[in-house]
Chain A
Amino acid sequence: MESEKVRSSRRKFLKSAATLAGATIGYSWLKSTQFLVHGAEPEDKSLPWYGIVIDIEKCIGCGNCAKACKNENDVPKEPFFFRNWVEQYTVKNDGSVIIESPNGGIDGFKQSVPDDEIFKSYFVPKMCNHCAKSPCIQVCPVGATYDSPEGVVLIDEKYCIGCRYCVQACPYGCRFIHPVKKVANKCTLCYHRLKKNLAPACFEVCPTGARMYGNLRDKNSELVKFLKTHTTQVLRPNLNTGSKLYYNALSSEVK
Chain B
Amino acid sequence: MKFYLPPQISRLAIAFAVFITLFLVARHFLVPETFGQYGHYRGASLDDNAMPVIHFSGQQACLDCHQDIEDLKLQGPHKGIHCETCHGPGQAHVVSGEAKDIFKPSGREFCGNCHSSNAAKKKETIHQVNMSTKNPGKNCTECHNPHQPWKVKK
Contacts and interface: CB of A to CB of B under 8 A. Distances in A.
Interface of A: 57-58, 60-64, 68, 71-74, 88-90, 107-111, 113, 115, 118, 120-123, 143-149, 154-159, 188, 191-193, 195-196, 198-199, 201, 204-209
B48 A157 contact: yes
B65 to A, nearest CB: 17
Given A68-B84, A159-B32, A205-B85, A118 B39 contact: no
- Interface of chain A, helix or strand or loop or mixed? loop
Given A115-B119, A143-B40, A204 B125 contact: no
B129 to A, nearest CB: 13
B49 interface: yes
A205 B50 contact: no
A113 B118 CA distance: 10
A17 B92 CA distance: 71
B41 interface: yes
B114 to A, nearest CB: 5
A204 B38 contact: no
Interface of B: 32, 35, 38-42, 45-46, 48-56, 58-59, 80-82, 84-85, 88-89, 109, 112-114, 116-122, 125-126
B82 A143 contact: no
29 contacts: A57-B122, A58-B122, A60-B114, A60-B121, A60-B122, A64-B85, A68-B56, A71-B55, A71-B56, A72-B55, A73-B52, A107-B113, A109-B120, A115-B119, A118-B119, A121-B120, A154-B46, A156-B45, A158-B45, A159-B42, A192-B49, A195-B50, A198-B54, A198-B56, A198-B58, A204-B82, A205-B84, A207-B81, A209-B80
Nearest to B87: A205
B45 A154 contact: yes
